[in-house]
Amino acid sequence: MIQKQVNQKAWFMVLPVFLIVAFSAVIPLMTVVNYSVQDTFGNNVFSWYGLGWFEEIIHSPRFHDAFLRQLLFSGIILAIEIPLGICIALAMPKKGWGVPVCLVTMALPLLIPWNVVGTIWQIFGRVDIGLLGHTLAQMGINYNYVQDPLAAWLTVIVMDVWHWTSLVVLLCYAGLCSIPDAYYQAAKIDGATRLAVFRYIQLPKMQRVLLIAVLLRFMDSFMIYTEPFVITGGGPGNSTTFLSIDLVKMAIGQFDLGPAAAMSLIYFLVILLLSWVFYTVMSNVGEESKGGH
């Protein structure tokens, strides 16, 4: 660990970043706070409403439903993508021409604009023109993501797995590549089984990157908006209306600024709490792994 020197002038180096982020973050956030405590009757006439919107949102079943759906979605996503990502990373080649091929093709979905990802899966899943939808229909499976909530959920989940598992794979792969060959040789001499190698050599080395993977995936799936919006528009009914979709519906669709702002703040506080946990856990793990050497 680098011994850091105390130097208050370092603030000048951070200043540009501070100013730009403050401009794009603090001013809009204040606008949101401003809306959240006021009521409007149109014509730009605003009146003080106190914490009324917050109480309303916290007690509204609509918010509860969206929140639960969001938690369920993020939970399922993590349960699938993390183990799958580890498996694929373990099976990836370490050298030869396979490495760049794997890395490039696997990173490809990450660089497709999110609404195009939505469009790809919207087309892919359609019963009339999509490969997936058509094949399932041929097999006699009743699959229609426009009308059936279960099919809509499955489509959105498979799409997210398609879109983001590579992130987990690449992170784990980076962790695995940092293990020196000597470790494996030592394990071989000791006659360690494949499972023991995974448990005692690979998993500890991947711990840090796995943490990043889990938390990044959790946050990003918690904020998901564009892809399900393009595929299902939050439907059928409200079955795939996640928090962000609900928020945009309320703020821009219905122009209910007060409740939308209150919901934004609650949403943001949840995320802030999570990122604080993330940050603390991350730095603790960092200290531990450094202390261990």
Partner 1 sequence: MKTKWIVPTLYIIFLLLPIYWLLNMSLKNNTEILSVFSLWPQDLTLDNYRVIFNDPSWYSGYINSMIYVSINVVISVSCALPAAYAFSRYSFLGDKHLFFWLLSNRMAPPAVFALPFFQLYSSVGLFDTHLAVALAHCLFNLPLAVWILEGFMSGIPKEIDETAFIDGYSFPKFFVKIFIPNIASGIGVTAFFCFMFSWVELLLARTLTSVNAKPISAIMTRTVSASGLDWGVLAAAGMLTIVPGALVIWFVRNHIAKGFALGRV
Q: Which residues inside 69-88 make contact with partner 1, applying CB under 8 A?
A: 87-88
| Residue 21 binds to partner 1 (criterion: CB under 8 A) | yes
From 57-65, 73-81, 185-193, 275-283, span contacting partner 1 (CB under 8 A)? 275-283
Alpha helices in 92-225 (DSSP H): 98-107, 114-125, 131-138, 149-177, 181-189, 194-197, 203-222
Minimum CB–partner distance for residue 63 and partner 1 (Å): 14
Question: 45 is written with which tokens?
Answer: 């006439």
| Residue 140 binds to partner 1 (criterion: CB under 8 A) | no
| Residue 195 binds to partner 1 (criterion: CB under 8 A) | no
Among 27, 45, 139, 182, binds partner 1 (CB under 8 A): 27
Site for partner 1 in 213-272 (CB under 8 A): 219, 222-223, 225-226, 230, 243-245, 247-248, 251-252, 257, 260, 264, 267-268, 271-272
Q: How far is CA 268 from CA 62, 90, 163, 169, in A?
A: 18, 36, 24, 28
| Residue 5 binds to partner 1 (criterion: CB under 8 A) | yes
Question: 201 is written with which tokens?
Answer: 């050599």
Minimum CB–partner distance for residue 47 and partner 1 (Å): 19
Q: Is the dihedral of CA 240, 242, 248, 249 positive or negative?
A: positive
| Residue 40 binds to partner 1 (criterion: CB under 8 A) | no
From 25-33, 50-58, 60-68, 183-191, span contacting partner 1 (CB under 8 A)? 25-33
Q: In this complex, which beta carbon is closest to partner 1, that of residue 53 or of residue 121?
A: 121
Q: d(Cα 40, Cα 107) in Å, to the nearest integer?
A: 47
| Residue 174 binds to partner 1 (criterion: CB under 8 A) | yes
Element (H, E) at 46: strand 46-48
Q: In this complex, which beta carbon is closest to partner 1, that of residue 29 or of residue 197?
A: 29
Biggest distance spanned by C-alpha atoms of the chain: 79
Three-state DSSP at 39 gives: strand
Among 60, 142, 147, 178, binds partner 1 (CB under 8 A): 178
> Which residue has tokens 């609900």?
246
| Residue 203 binds to partner 1 (criterion: CB under 8 A) | no
Q: How far is CA 207 from CA 109, 218, 245, 282, in A?
A: 25, 16, 33, 10
Minimum CB–partner distance for residue 217 and partner 1 (Å): 12
Integer-rounded Cα radius of gyration of the chain = 24
Site map 100..129 versus partner 1, x via CB under 8 A: xxxxxxxxxxxxxxxxx--xxx-xx---xx
Question: 24 is written with which tokens?
Answer: 């794009």
Minimum CB–partner distance for residue 230 and partner 1 (Å): 7
| Residue 16 binds to partner 1 (criterion: CB under 8 A) | yes
Among 82, 134, 136, 146, binds partner 1 (CB under 8 A): 134
Q: 237 φ, ψ to 5°? A: 65, -125
Q: d(Cα 153, Cα 158) in Å, to the nearest integer?
A: 9
Q: Are 215 and 221 in contact (CB under 8 A)?
A: no
